[in-house]
Amino acid sequence: MFNNIIFLGGIHGVGKGTFCSKVKELLDIEHLSASELLRWAEVNAEPRNKLVADIPSMQGRLILGLHQRVEPTRKYLLDGHFCLFDSKGKVELVPFDTFSKIDPILISVLTAEPEAIVRRLTERDGKAYDLQVIRQMQEEEITYGKWVAGKLNKPFLVMERDEQVLVDAINTI
């Protein structure tokens, strides 16, 4: 659909925003955040709430936001998620249709040590996170990201804090 978006997935607290800022310094690329496109704070009463009541509806708003923002002559680095916590705190996959509509030219997942993610989230959100749930969510993010990439026949990359790996991959597309 867009043919100019690199999708960077990763769980909450993995450091996608910081990572994308560093990539943006190395490349002429626009960084978009899925949560900013969705105007996250307006949708959720509690700004640091990671629970999403209606994941499919939210993804529809993401696609609409991309249509309003993406220009065909630029490349974009979109940070987002392959899975989210539903309203009951259960890990739920983002519908495949979302990725099919975005049709990214490269799919990647940023990872970090689960203990570091828990520390960051606890400091940032002021609440405790279960290490096993974070570990499971990150594994699900990688597994589903790889599946999505295979289904869309797109290159797939998993990395931990090495911006140059992503920059090199983007430069080959």
- How many whole angstroms separate alpha carbon 39 and alpha carbon 53? 15
The answer to whether the pTM exceeds 0.85 is yes
Lowest mean pLDDT, pick from 23-32, 37-46, 132-141, 159-168? 37-46
- What's the pLDDT at 54? 59
Per residue in 41-85, pLDDT tens? 344 434 444 555 556 667 778 888 898 889 999 999 999 999 988
Mean pLDDT of 160-168: 92
Query: Which DSSP symbol is given to 5?
Result: E
Q: Which CATH number is 5-171 given?
A: 3.40.50.300
Closest-CA residue to 70 (of 96, 105, 41, 95): 105
Residue 2, pLDDT score: 77
Q: Region 94-102: what's the mean pLDDT?
A: 93
Q: Is 91 helix (H, G, I), strand (E, B) or coil?
A: strand
pLDDT of residue 131: 96
Q: Number of C-alpha atoms within 13 angstroms, CB side, residue 164? A: 0
In the predicted model, what is the mean pLDDT of the chain? Answer: 88
Burial class (CB in 10 A: 0-12, 13-18, 19+), 169: middle
Q: Is a pLDDT exceeding 60 seen at residue 40?
A: no
Distance CA 101, CA 118 (A): 32
pLDDT per position as a tens digit, 71-83: 999 999 999 999 9
Give the per-residue pLDDT at 42.
44
Ranges of each domain in the chain: 5-171
